């Protein structure tokens, strides 16, 4: 029953775009002829707020948290390069790489990852296969909550706190 209801809601969203058979695109337009024995189907035009209310009522969204702040974490790792002048330089470069990796991971959580793939086939055989992943995003006010350096690997735990209402405004689509 819920699937049928949602299909009608989705169909109702598009009623305003395409006129019905009798030329009327609006509320409570009947799609069945008056003399038919089939049950009457009523398509109702709804707006975005109606759809949001239905989604909330049907619990299709993640449950709302009582906290007004959401927290996202990521772990970045960086390896110290072999051709450094000193151990201090190796440590600094490994830390920089770890922080950059953590920011990339936060951006992929917030904005998603764009993946492109390309296969080349010649004579019914795969000649080449290329897959690229790209992340674009802006990370501000992330803080390092933990960091350590062990055997040439620098590991950084980063946390980004954002207001829940701001999160919904920017990212919940």
Indicate the average pLDDT of the chain.
Answer: 76
Residue 64 within any structural domain of the chain: no
- Domain end position, chosen among 33, 57, 81: 57
Q: Is residue 62 part of a domain?
A: no
**Does 105 lie in the same domain as 165?**
yes
User: Is 120 part of any domain?
Assistant: yes
* Domain span including residue 148: 69-170
Phi, psi of 145 (to 5 degrees): -100, -20
Distances (CA, A) of 169 to 38, 55, 121, 165: 44, 16, 44, 6
Look at 9-23, 83-97, 155-169 and tell me which has the smallest mean pLDDT: 9-23
Across residues 2-9, what is the average pLDDT? Answer: 43
- In this structure, the answer to whether residues 118 and 143 fall within a common structural domain is yes
Burial grade of 159 (CB within 10 A; 0-12, 13-18, 19 or more): middle
Cβ–Cβ under 8 Å, residues 109 and 72: yes
Whether the per-residue pLDDT at 69 is higher than 70: the answer is yes
Q: How confident is the model at residue 128, as a pLDDT?
A: 94
Same domain, 97 and 165: yes
Specify the number of domains making up the chain.
2
Residues 122 and 165 in one domain: yes
Same domain, 37 and 108: no
Confidence of residue 76 (pLDDT cuts 50, 70, 90): very high
Cβ atoms 102, 73 nearer than 8 A: no
In this predicted structure, what is the pLDDT of residue 1? Answer: 43
Using pLDDT thresholds of 50, 70 and 90, give the confidence band for residue 55.
Answer: low
Give a yes or no: residue 32 inside a domain: yes
Segment 100-114 mean pLDDT = 91
Q: Are both 77 and 48 inside the same structural domain?
A: no
The span from the CA of 112 to the CA of 39, in Å, is 44
Q: What is the pTM of this model?
A: 0.55
Q: 39 and 92 in one domain? A: no
pLDDT at 152 over 50: yes
Q: What share of the chain is helix, strand, coil (3-state, %, to 5)?
A: 30, 30, 40
Q: What is the largest CA-CA distance in the chain?
A: 89
- Asked whether residue 41 is assigned to any structural domain, the reply reads yes
> Is residue 39 included in any domain, yes or no?
yes
Mean pLDDT of 65-85: 86
Whether 45 and 87 map to the same domain: the answer is no
**Res. 33: pLDDT tops 60:** no
Residues 48 and 124 in one domain: no
């Amino acid at each position: 029953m819920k699937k049928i209801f949602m299909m009608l809601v989705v169909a109702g969203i598009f009623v305003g775009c395409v006129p019905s058979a009798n030329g009327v695109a609006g509320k409570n337009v009947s799609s069945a002829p008056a003399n038919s024995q089939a049950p009457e189907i009523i398509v109702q035009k709804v707006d975005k707020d109606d759809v949001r209310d239905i989604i909330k009522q049907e619990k299709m969204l993640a449950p709302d948290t009582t906290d007004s702040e959401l927290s996202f974490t990521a772990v970045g790792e960086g390896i110290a390069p072999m051709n450094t002048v000193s151990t201090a330089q190796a440590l600094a470069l490994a830390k920089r790489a770890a922080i950059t990796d953590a920011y990339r991971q936060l951006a992929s959580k917030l904005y998603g990852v764009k993946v492109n793939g390309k296969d080349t086939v010649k004579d019914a055989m795969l000649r080449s296969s290329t897959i690229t992943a790209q992340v674009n995003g802006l990370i501000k006010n992330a803080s390092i909550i933990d960091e350590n350096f062990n055997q040439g690997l620098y590991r950084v735990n980063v946390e980004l706190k954002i207001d829940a209402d701001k999160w919904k405004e920017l990212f919940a689509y």
